[in-house]
Structure 1
Amino acid sequence: MIAIYARVSTEEQAKKGFSLEDQLKECRKKANSEEVIEYVDRGMSGEFLDRHALTKLRNDVREGLITKVVCLDPDRLSRKLMNQLIITDEIEKRGVELVFVTSEYTKTPEGNLFYSMRGAIAEFEKAKINERMSRGRREKARQGKVLRNFQIYGYDYDKETSRIIINQEEANVVKLIFDLFTKPNDLVEGINGIAKYLTNKGIPTKRGAKIWHRQVVRQLLMNQVYTGKFFQNRWNTEGMLGNKYKSKDERVPMKERPKEEWIPIDCPAIIDEETFKHAQTLLEQSRRRWAKKSKNDYLLSGLIRCGDCNNTMVGIKTTNWGQTVYIYTDVKNYAGAKHPGCGRRINVSKLDQEVWETILNWLNAPEEIAAATERDGEEDTPDFDEIEIERLHSEIGKVKAGRKKLLNLFSEGLDISEEEIRESLKELKEKEERLSKQLEELEKVRKKNDQHIYGKKLLQEAAEFYFSKGQQNLTFEDKKSLIRHVVKEIRVYEDRIKIYTF
């Protein structure tokens, strides 16, 4: 029986015009027989051996069902020389004749040499195509164009301009998700709650699915594109094309490229930077703050930590002289606990009351909070920290440029001793380290100030929710939501407690 093998990838079909029908037609002519079996791989890369039709052909050759194999060109078998030689060797070992339409192949030293040269050229050509395509994509990205439709919820892809544009209906859902996650509300609790809420409301996902999963919501909350920061050339996917043909252990993972290689693209923002940063802070603590509910619900669950041993404290029910008592404790008595805790215990009612009264004192002064927020907003004095940060960035850039210039002068063979170069480079390095340290300190101060201003905003939002509901109408869940909106952590010491806000 004569076998015909044909393969085409979408890329090659578009570039070379060899459709599968063309290949099969030419191969049938070469076979010159009615008794043929056709093995066809559609849209399969020639880089990998594990292809459905090719594997079937190789098996049939081993079973002795095939007497002759006809193929358009050696690069249809594979784009890699090594793989071509493996397939050829398998076929010829069984005494099966291998014939190509575009070239004559003979089992002679000259024929083998020519065959190997063609395979090497095909592999080189494939590598050049990939390199040219990658370079073209990077250049397109540098021109501010988006390479393809990345299917980002909240956005659409405009093919004519190669830009990302806002999908207003989805953008409103994005804002809703961030609001539900970062603001006090009586609708949902945590990521799972948001996923269930969206599902119950019948809001479809980007793919049109009816069910929202918690991981989809989590990925959306972590996506920086919503602040207007979209990067291309961020991920290195080299070698991943063949993952679907490999076992789990052999698959090539996606790797993040160095930041300097990322290409920023203009993208309309949906969420402000402060809200996004606050969402990231909450996500880091989500496992603690929205843990699976126990039989008894505790107002401060997920927020308390022992001030001495640093263990988290959880609520438990115990008995004291026959009476049921609820306490928060840092004791970890489960198998594998790294730190058993120092045995701190505090009455649930006592701590809940103390924390809630503190929160009430904050919430009952909305005028002061509003005034402070307005003063922060109206302040029009120059931001000296910002000016200094900009100056330090400029100085560090000059130092790097000076170091590069020194190395260039030395490489050009100018009359400068190696010792002078070394001394100058050392001075520049020390200066860069000094400037970088100053920059780091200023960045910390600015971040702290930004967080302080945002903390006031969070308190203002909590106050608005509190007064909209009224103290008498607040449910247990409302109180939990209010506390979690403004409190980052509660540290319990022997003689005091300390409340840390955002």
Structure 2
Amino acid sequence: MTRTTSRADGRENGRHKPPAAVRCAIYTRKSTDEGLDQEFNSLDAQRESGEHYVRAQEGQGWVCLPTRYDDGGFTGGNMERPALKRLLADIEAGQIDCVVVYKVDRLSRSLLDFARIMETFDKHAVSFVSVTQQFNTSTSMGRLMLNVLLSFAQFEREIISERTRDKMAAARRKGKYVGGAPLLGYDIDRDASRLVVNEQEAVRVQQIFELYLEFQSLLPTIAELDRRGWTTKRWTTKKGTQRGGRPFNKNTLYGLLTNVAYVGKVRYKHEVYEGEHEGIVDPDTFEEVQRLLRTNHRTGGARVRNRFGALLKGLLRCAPCGCS
């Protein structure tokens, strides 16, 4: 006697099959590291919201993975984020079925990057959920809404960037320090956001300018700096990382010799303005160095290579090696 098989509507032997488990990864991001040292920070708040959302879907088999994907202090304008890279790697390894975020812009603020991420999601059949913006990425209307939301996120990021550039430009025109790597000869007053003279380093900077005028070329000057053991500015970041303190090369020495900050000025694009800080190099010495740099650039340093005025230089050559 033939036995009738169970119907394919999820019932077997009169009982419902439990829904298949949906492994959910919660991704969180904050653009700055401000406040991340608090016991309960923005990343924790985003994850808590995601966990509540996943628990509300337990009836559909949703489970929250314990692995944390937190990017604190990383912009959403690119994909250079360690937690995002781990998330994508775990997706490609088949360990994730759904990605949950607090808002769409936590995952990305770039349309191009978001398209790449969604391509990876689609390839591995991974769904995407935003806790505060309800949509379904499996429908064309849901994808349209997602792209609209992301367009506004990118627009907001570009507006913020423009405002930041305008603010920095205005500060430069007023001669204010607006950040960047510290300069040899100066320290940074974080409270007043301005450069203050480091007397010991300032003397060294003045001697570097004098050495260049003496040797009249970058390479001999660098050789003398190496002999003296002088290096670039050594400084410590806010995170405690040591930077700088490296031997001079042509680029770093040229950058030092052409920096208008040493005569108390600031540069913005092609314009130079009076700075709030004190200059440490005599303006006449600075201008003399600039003239010599321009001359060497134009002539390739021919005058320096023939500084003693040898009349037959370049005409007489050594028979064995061909040197003049």
Cα separation, 2, equivalents of 1:82 and 1:44: 17
The 5 Å alignment of 1:132-171 reads 132-148=163-179, 150-171=181-202
Q: Which residue of 2 aligns with 1:229?
A: 265
Q: Is the Cα contact below 8 Å between 2:265 and 2:273 reproduced in 1?
A: no
The Cα shift of 1:46 comes to: 0.9
Secondary structure of 2:275's aligned partner? strand
The Cα shift of 1:290 comes to: 6.8
Root-mean-square deviation (CA, aligned residues, Å) is 3.6
The 5 Å alignment of 1:106-255 reads 106=136, 107-148=138-179, 150-183=181-214, 190-199=220-229, 205-207=232-234, 212-215=247-250, 216-231=252-267, 233-234=268-269
1:31 aligns with 2:54: yes
| Residues 11 and 108 (structure 1), Cα distance of their counterparts in 2 relative to 1, 3 Å cut | same
Query: Aligned match of 1:9 in 31, 52, 56?
Result: 31
The 5 Å alignment of 1:53-452 reads 53-106=83-136, 107-148=138-179, 150-183=181-214, 190-199=220-229, 205-207=232-234, 212-215=247-250, 216-231=252-267, 233-234=268-269, 259=270, 263-283=273-293, 284-285=295-296, 303-304=308-309, 313=314, 333=322
The Cα shift of 1:47 comes to: 1.2
Q: Is the Cα contact below 8 Å between 1:156 and 1:164 reproduced in 2?
A: yes
The Cα shift of 1:160 comes to: 4.1
The Cα shift of 1:204 comes to: 5.9
The Cα shift of 1:2 comes to: 2.4
Q: Which residue of 2 aligns with 1:20?
A: 43
The Cα shift of 1:76 comes to: 1.2
Deviations 1:213-254 (A, max 9, x none): 2434443223232233321x32xxxxxxxxxxxxxxxxxxxx
Secondary structure of 1:157's aligned partner? strand
| Residues 75 and 42 (structure 1), Cα distance of their counterparts in 2 relative to 1, 3 Å cut | same
Q: Which residue of 2 aligns with 1:241?
A: none
Tell which deviates more after alignment, 127-136 or 278-287: 278-287
| Residues 11 and 79 (structure 1), Cα distance of their counterparts in 2 relative to 1, 3 Å cut | farther
| Residues 167 and 42 (structure 1), Cα distance of their counterparts in 2 relative to 1, 3 Å cut | same
The Cα shift of 1:72 comes to: 1.4
| Residues 316 and 125 (structure 1), Cα distance of their counterparts in 2 relative to 1, 3 Å cut | same
Q: Which residue of 1 aligns with 2:18?
A: none
| Residues 141 and 214 (structure 1), Cα distance of their counterparts in 2 relative to 1, 3 Å cut | closer
| Residues 29 and 218 (structure 1), Cα distance of their counterparts in 2 relative to 1, 3 Å cut | same
Q: Is the Cα contact below 8 Å between 2:175 and 2:266 reproduced in 1?
A: no
Give the structure with the higher percent helix: 1
Q: Which residue of 2 aligns with 1:246?
A: none
Instruction: Please report the TM-score for the alignment, with normalisation by the length of structure 1.
Output: 0.47
Unmatched runs of 5 consecutive residues or more in structure 1: 235-258, 292-300, 320-331, 335-344, 346-502
Cα separation, 2, equivalents of 1:211 and 1:129: 35
Q: Select the structure of larger CA radius of gyration.
A: 1
Q: Is the Cα contact below 8 Å between 2:49 and 2:102 reproduced in 1?
A: yes
| Residues 270 and 26 (structure 1), Cα distance of their counterparts in 2 relative to 1, 3 Å cut | same
Tell which deviates more after alignment, 162-171 or 65-74: 162-171
Which amino acid in structure 1 is aligned with residue 51 of structure 2?
R
The Cα shift of 1:10 comes to: 0.7
Deviations 1:169-211 (A, max 9, x none): 1111112222233248xxxx93133312431xxx564216666
Unmatched runs of 5 consecutive residues or more in structure 2: 1-22, 56-62, 236-243
| Residues 13 and 79 (structure 1), Cα distance of their counterparts in 2 relative to 1, 3 Å cut | farther
Which amino acid in structure 2 is aligned with residue 155 of structure 1?
Y
Q: Is the Cα contact below 8 Å between 2:234 and 2:245 reproduced in 1?
A: no
The Cα shift of 1:147 comes to: 1.3
The Cα shift of 1:99 comes to: 1.8
Which amino acid in structure 2 is aligned with residue 277 of structure 1?
E
| Residues 166 and 116 (structure 1), Cα distance of their counterparts in 2 relative to 1, 3 Å cut | same
Deviations 1:323-344 (A, max 9, x none): xxxxxxxxx958xxxxxxxxxx
The Cα shift of 1:131 comes to: 1.5
Deviations 1:401-440 (A, max 9, x none): xxxxxxxxxxxxxxxxxxxxxxxxxxxxxxxxxxxxxxxx
Cα separation, 2, equivalents of 1:68 and 1:211: 47
The Cα shift of 1:303 comes to: 4.6
